[in-house]
Amino acid sequence: MRNRKKTKVEIWFDEKVPKFVISISSMIVMGIFSIIFMVALFGQMFDPYPTREEYFRSIGGVSPEQIDSGMLEYESRIDEVEKTNPTTITIEYFSAKEIQIISQVAVEYDLTDHETALLFAIRKCENGRPGLEFGCGDGIDNHPARRYAGDFERSLRLQAQWCAGTIKKRYKGDVGEFSKIYCPTNAVNWERMVESWVGKLS
């Protein structure tokens, strides 16, 4: 087979561009594509928020079937929450973003009006720093409820979800008894503060 004669462009390229430059350029391009692939892969592996099913599986509460049956109601009610104007007293004590996120979590966990007021009251009483907005995981290093301390909205939602799940599973209508579960080291004072806030927010 007769060798093909190189064009002027190919001859110029061979003369002006060293082979090692071409190799390095190829490696850089491949590296960039590899990084993009890994970011996409790990982004799918680590979902930022636990679903209701994941949460209740972890603590052993509501079955997946019960969760699924309530999702249609949840989806219809979440729109109502976003359209509802919060009460004046709620606006007085919470930011608009807090009201939106905490209200959505209350609907997600199917809390009653009283339980929702309790959820807001706990937020006010705990008043935790980023990563401990509801006090969930306080004193426990690397607690999963504290993993978004650097992101206000994600952290507030995650902490609210842990708190709402605890209310749904453990609260039986008695704040005094619940205080021994939620804040055993300071149950008496915690009960008094929470009851005061529930009264303001109900």
Q: And the tokens for 110?
A: 């199917």
Q: Is the backbone of residue 28 left (phi > 0), alpha (psi -120 to 50) or beta?
A: alpha
Question: Residue 187 and residue 177: Cα distance in Å, rounded?
Answer: 9
**What confidence category does residue 82 fall into, taking pLDDT thresholds of 50, 70 and 90?**
very low
Each residue of 92-111: pLDDT tens digit?
788 888 999 999 999 999 99
Q: 64 pLDDT exceeds 80?
A: no
Do 85 and 138 lie in a common domain? yes
pLDDT at 95: 87
* 154 inside domain: yes
* 174 inside domain: yes
Query: Residue type for 148, please?
Result: Y
Q: And the tokens for 59?
A: 């603590």
* 1 inside domain: no
Threshold 0.75, pTM exceeds: no
pLDDT at 78: 47
Do 38 and 58 lie in a common domain? no
pLDDT at 83: 47
Q: Highest mean pLDDT range out of 47-56, 83-92, 121-130, 138-147? A: 121-130
DSSP designation for 127: -
* 3 inside domain: no
pLDDT at 176: 94
Do 85 and 36 lie in a common domain? no
Do 172 and 147 lie in a common domain? yes
Tell me how far apart the terminal alpha carbons of the chain are, to the nearest angstrom.
Answer: 91
List the single range of 46-50, 168-172, 198-202 with lowest mean pLDDT: 46-50
Do 97 and 170 lie in a common domain? yes
| 10 vs 103, higher pLDDT | 103
Count of all residues that appear for the chain in the document: 202
Q: 192 pLDDT exceeds 80?
A: yes
* 2 inside domain: no
Do 162 and 191 lie in a common domain? yes
| 76-105: average pLDDT | 68
Question: Residue 49 and residue 144: Cα distance in Å, rounded?
Answer: 11
Do 100 and 119 lie in a common domain? yes
Question: Phi and psi at residue 8, in whole multiples of 5°?
Answer: -60, -35
Do 56 and 41 lie in a common domain? no
| 22-27: average pLDDT | 61
The tally of domains found in the chain comes to 2
Provide the residue range defining the domain that includes 151. 52-201
Where does the chain show beta strands of DSSP type E? none
CA distances in angstroms from 91 to 88, 105, 113, listed in the order given: 5, 17, 17
pLDDT at 168: 94
pLDDT at 157: 93
Question: Residue 195 and residue 111: Cα distance in Å, rounded?
Answer: 17
pLDDT at 86: 47
Angle between helices 113-126 and 96-108 (to 10 degrees): 130
Do 190 and 111 lie in a common domain? yes
Do 33 and 97 lie in a common domain? no
Each residue of 129-152: pLDDT tens digit?
888 899 998 888 788 888 888 888
Do 38 and 130 lie in a common domain? no
Do 37 and 67 lie in a common domain? no
